[in-house]
């Protein structure tokens, strides 16, 4: 599988499409990506009006935000099809599908997107937020190996998982961690990015920073956020460290030496380094360059 171009998704902020005050602040945000939410954050009575705001939101799109994603309502709902059509008309960077439970959910959405002649640049993101999704996570993530599926990113829906299973939500997330790691493993097998779930107490930034550090240590690419105050801690936690960058530069430089041309594995600092490590190093350095800009 060829390696896809890296995306910077350290901090991904949900903004309800019905919240005019929050929408007006988009240009001032320093997050990597925004999810314009038509689903959970919008009351049923407000959904048609929220959908109609999409065109204006994208018409005034700021240049600093790398990706703008639209979370639609489930295609099986009364709002889903209209949400998808309105979102695609705005040419977003991606569509976030809620309640994905099987590969078919993504394939059917991809077919609808293809039928509307959306460009290949419109990606699919998938919420993993139900027990059934976890049981099918390997097959869902495997679609990431097929560019035609458009699948680019998994998003942990931790609030819904807690509600659906009845587990106790503790500050250390001890009961969620096994499922989060299951999602992470599937995402990496499918060549996908994966984002950690939200932290509901946006006032306790100390606890939020601990949760971000936990997510980064588990291998997540970033975190979904519900408040702008969470952007800086997320960016800090999910940015590559100076030690990791220095190591990445050594790997790239070593493989570029004439004596290592064409080799699949080389010795570096007394250990074996393979092409997979080179790909990881290049990806890390590319993300660092994006952050620097």
**Tokens in use for 144?**
């990431």
β-pairing, 151-156 vs 193-196, is: parallel
Give which of 252, 278, 80, 62 is closest to 70, Cα–Cα.
80
Q: Whole-angstrom Cα distance, residue 191 to residue 201?
A: 31
66 is an annotated ligand-binding site residue: no
Q: Whole-angstrom Cα distance, residue 85 to residue 80?
A: 9
How far, in whole angstroms, is CA 137 from its chain's centroid? 16
115 is an annotated ligand-binding site residue: no
Q: Whole-angstrom Cα distance, residue 21 to residue 19?
A: 6
Q: No. of H helices and E strands in the chain? A: 13, 10
> Residue 257 carries which DSSP code?
S
3-state secondary structure of 153: strand
Q: What angle do CA 236, 241, 247 make, to 5 degrees?
A: 165
Give the phi and the psi of residue 200 in degrees, each rounded to 5: -75, -30
71 is an annotated ligand-binding site residue: yes
Which residue positions form the known binding site? 71, 129, 160
Which residue positions form the known binding site for Mg(2+)? 129, 160
Which residue positions form the known binding site for substrate? 71, 129
């Amino acid at each position: 599988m060829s390696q896809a171009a890296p995306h910077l998704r350290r901090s991904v902020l949900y903004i309800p499409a019905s919240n005019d005050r929050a929408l007006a602040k988009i240009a001032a945000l320093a997050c990597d990506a925004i999810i314009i939410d038509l689903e959970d954050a919008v009351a049923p009575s407000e959904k048609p009006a929220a959908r109609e705001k999409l065109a204006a939101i994208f018409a005034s799109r700021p240049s600093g935000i790398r990706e703008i994603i639209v979370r639609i309502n489930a295609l099986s709902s009364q709002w889903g099809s209209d949400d998808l059509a309105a979102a695609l008309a705005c040419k977003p960077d991606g569509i976030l599908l809620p309640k994905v439970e099987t590969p078919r959910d993504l394939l059917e959405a991809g077919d609808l997107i293809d039928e509307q002649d959306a460009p290949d640049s419109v990606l699919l993101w998938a919420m993993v937020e139900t027990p059934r999704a976890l049981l099918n996570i390997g097959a869902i993530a495997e679609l990431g190996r097929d560019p035609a599926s458009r699948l680019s990113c998994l998003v942990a829906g931790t609030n819904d998982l807690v509600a659906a299973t009845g587990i106790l939500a503790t500050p250390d997330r001890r009961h969620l961690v096994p499922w989060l790691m299951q999602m992470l493993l599937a995402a990496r097998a499918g060549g996908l990015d994966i984002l950690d779930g939200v932290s509901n107490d946006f006032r306790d930034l100390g606890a939020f920073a601990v949760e971000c550090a936990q997510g980064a240590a588990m291998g997540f690419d970033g975190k979904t956020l519900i408040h702008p105050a969470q952007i800086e801690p997320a960016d800090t936690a999910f940015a590559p460290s100076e030690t990791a960058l220095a190591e990445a530069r050594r790997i790239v430089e070593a493989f570029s030496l004439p004596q290592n041309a064409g080799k699949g594995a080389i010795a570096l600092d007394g250990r074996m380094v393979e092409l997979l490590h080179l790909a990881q190093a290049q990806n890390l350095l590319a993300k660092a360059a994006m952050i620097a800009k």
